[in-house]
Amino acid sequence: MPIQINNYMGRIGWNARKYLPGLASKAYLAFQFATRRKLQKRYTEYFLNAPEIPKPNIVNIETINRCNSNCAFCTANIHAEKRPFMQIDDGLYRSIIDQLADWSYKGHVTLYGNNEPWLDDKIVERHRYARMKLPESYIYMSTNGLLLNLEKLKEIQPSMDQLIINNYSKEMKLHKSVQRIYEYVEMHPQEFEDIDILVQMRYVNEVLTNRAGSAPNKQATDKVINETCLLPFTDMWIMPNGKMGLCCCDNFEVTDFGDLNKISLKEAWTGPAIQEVRRLIASGRQDYPFCAHCDFIDAGMRMEVVKNILSGNEDAANRQGGHERGIKKA
């Protein structure tokens, strides 16, 4: 099926997140840290001991730093946003994509960060350029679906491998815009054979992680997190101003490991500053102040990616997130 609905642990999970938010978050994180610890450690050691610094597995390019939702756990929500408005410069965006192409990059690319991508009026054009220049990359989008309609879906579909619709709501039901898309795709699956569409049922007031102390509904405590983190090893995090930050938990855009207006993509990714942070975090977050109390952990895709890399199956790692398919052409 080209479209699926996912609801973590079904009705039981939904009610736990809604009525026992603190307990649900604590239990989920304890489970995830326990089950992912060994593999994360193996990958950080592989990365730091590689003869050449591995390329990122996922390149996140936030093209506009605004959202139109009110998710209680996110600083980008319409009530909590504090960042100065910024939209990426067209020349800078093309330069980033061109550099990825020159780097023979075949990993994941998403034009998304702590934002709603459909607020960028050039988002379709940007995806077309990325697909043209990076035909073997796995391009995906995460959206809340509030601005999405069938016309937009059909317009962007040829440039994308996966569309993730996070259906944030107070009740366990689809928004009208998402419901219309779901019904149409189900009735016309042949039109969407080359794209995976995943609808995720999400409770809008859910308590997730403290995101390095920036989450509005879960502040960081004095507890030190003695766990490593995959994000500095797997993700290149690019802000609309051209800065390469540490990760998605830098909601206030305070980390800076290179200005891509001034240095190359590869220089920023392999630079001594970010490498030093990786060495510190490899043995636990306690040694790097920004991360010391952050309890964020990846929801799953990165674990599958690094598992494939460690098993020597890099092609599968680059496809992780959806079905195998041929190379799309712009």
Mean pLDDT of the 298-308 span: 88
Backbone angles phi, psi at 226, to 5 degrees: -90, 50
In this prediction, residue 325 has a pLDDT band, given cuts at 50, 70 and 90, of very low
Angle between helices 21-49 and 272-282 (to 10 degrees): 120
Distances (CA, A) of 122 to 90, 204, 215: 9, 27, 29
pLDDT tops 90 at residue 313? no
| Cα 102 to Cα 96: distance, rounded to the nearest angstrom | 10
Res 315: pLDDT = 73
SS3 156: helix
Q: Which residue has the tokens 């590869």?
A: 266
Res 189: pLDDT = 95
| Cα 244 to Cα 20: distance, rounded to the nearest angstrom | 36
Give the CA count within 13 Å in the CB-facing half-sphere of 291.
26
In this structure, the number of other CB atoms found within 10 A of the CB of residue 212 comes to 25
| Cα 284 to Cα 224: distance, rounded to the nearest angstrom | 9
Instruction: Specify the pTM.
Output: 0.93
| Cα 202 to Cα 39: distance, rounded to the nearest angstrom | 27
| Cα 233 to Cα 275: distance, rounded to the nearest angstrom | 9
> If residue 246 lies in a helix (H) or strand (E), which one and from where to where?
none
Question: Mind listing the pLDDT tens digit for each residue in 196-221?
Answer: 999 999 999 999 999 999 999 998 89
Is residue 274 within 8 A of residue 232, CB to CB? The reply is yes
Res 300: pLDDT = 79
SS (H, E, C) 112-162: CCCCCHHHCCCHHHHHHHHHHHCCCCEEEEEECCCCCCHHHHHHHHHHCCE
Mean pLDDT of the 151-166 span: 97
